[in-house]
Amino acid sequence: MFDNHSLTQKLLDNLKHSEESIREKATAKLWMLWFRQKGEIGLETLRRAQNFLENGNIQQAHNILNDTIAIHPDFAEAWNRRAILYYSQRKFLKSREDCKQVVRLNPSHFGAWHGLGLCHAALGEYKEAIFAFKKALAIQPHALVNQKLILECTMRL
């Protein structure tokens, strides 16, 4: 998936470290690896889509992400960005499907597991939400938000 599998594994291991600063650095570096999966061109494409989204031009952001996914169907972060866009539009089914694609491509993508859990919860699929939040928590055990969401979903069962 990435040029340096051992670096990725070390960063994933650091997500479990007791020291918060080490976890924060590992999280930031993993996000950067994911954004740079397709090099500088991929990174710039995601930045352009994000800028359009932040400026309220959702359709242009959507078009860029669709085009990027068509050209690079293995670019997990492009799928993840589109999942976030769909979620922000309350298109939970579409967001859920994109999150599933992200975790197929990158099973260690804690952000997509978290997003998948949010989609399931929004759709009232609480058992599935709990499963996804637990997957995110297994990768990033100090992410208290996932623990909280697991409890909330459990109460809704």
Q: What is the 3-state secondary structure (H, E, C) of 27-77?
A: HHHHHHHHHCCCHHHHHHHHHHHHHHHHCCCHHHHHHHHHHHHHHCCCCHH
78: Cβ contacts below 8 Å, ≥ 6 apart: 42, 45, 46, 65, 68, 69, 72
Say what the pTM is: 0.94
Is it the case that residue 131 has pLDDT exceeding 90?
yes
Domain boundaries, the chain: 5-156
- Domain 5-156 carries which CATH code? 1.25.40.10
- DSSP reduced 3-state for 148: helix
Rounded CA-CA distance 97/21 in Å is 33
Please, is 124 exposed, middle or buried when counting C-beta atoms within 10 Å of its C-beta (0-12, 13-18, 19+)? exposed
Is it the case that residue 3 has pLDDT exceeding 60?
no
Contact 17, 24 (CB under 8 A): no
Over the chain, what is the mean pLDDT? 96
Confidence of residue 5 (pLDDT cuts 50, 70, 90): confident
Q: pLDDT over 70 for what percent of the chain?
A: 97
Is it the case that residue 2 has pLDDT exceeding 50?
no
Amino acid at 4: N
The whole-angstrom distance between residue 103's C-alpha and the CA centroid of its chain comes to: 8
